[in-house]
Amino acid sequence: MVDVVVVGGGAAGAAVFGELIGRADAGCVHWVTGQGRPGRGVAYSTGEDHHLLNVRAAGMGLFDGPGSVFARHPAAGDAEPHQFVPRSRYGDYVQARLAERSCAARQAGRCFELHAATAVDAWRD
């Protein structure tokens, strides 16, 4: 098993991190998230409700499997699948899904760690 480092605290980093911590064959997964709230990045950290997703709620998701469609998740609120909803709601969804994945990984004994830091260089041991 090889340790892995995921760099980037936005939704793409969250998707990779969440998939890796769910794998039994992964080593320790480290996620360098920066100083913001993990999973939100710039795109989903806005608090302005007029900042909308550019994809309909039914077209958004994060991981495969149960709960993968944003429009069906409680974080979507009362949004209809065809609606463009505020970006902050999708940020809530990403954080909720990360919490679920992290809890399951912890219960399964997976090794992972979040680092509220900024990556400035990378090298291979």
Position 120 scores a pLDDT of: 87
Q: Which tens digits make up the pLDDT trace of 104-115?
A: 999 999 999 999
pLDDT at position 123 is 80
Q: What is the pLDDT of residues 35-71, one digit of tens each?
A: 889 999 999 999 899 999 999 999 999 987 766 889 9
The pLDDT value recorded for residue 67 is 66
Identify the band that residue 93 occupies on the pLDDT scale cut at 50, 70 and 90.
very high
Phi-psi region of 42 (alpha: psi -120 to 50; beta: other; left: phi over 0): alpha
Phi (first) and psi of residue 61, to 5 degrees: -165, -175
pLDDT value of position 36 = 86
Q: Over the stretch 17-31, which tens digit does the pLDDT of each residue have?
A: 999 999 888 789 999
What percentage of the chain reaches a pLDDT higher than 70?
Answer: 97
Per-residue confidence at 124, pLDDT binned at 50, 70, 90? confident
Contacts of 123 (CB under 8 A, 6+ apart): none
* Alpha-helical runs (H) found in 1-125: 11-21, 87-107
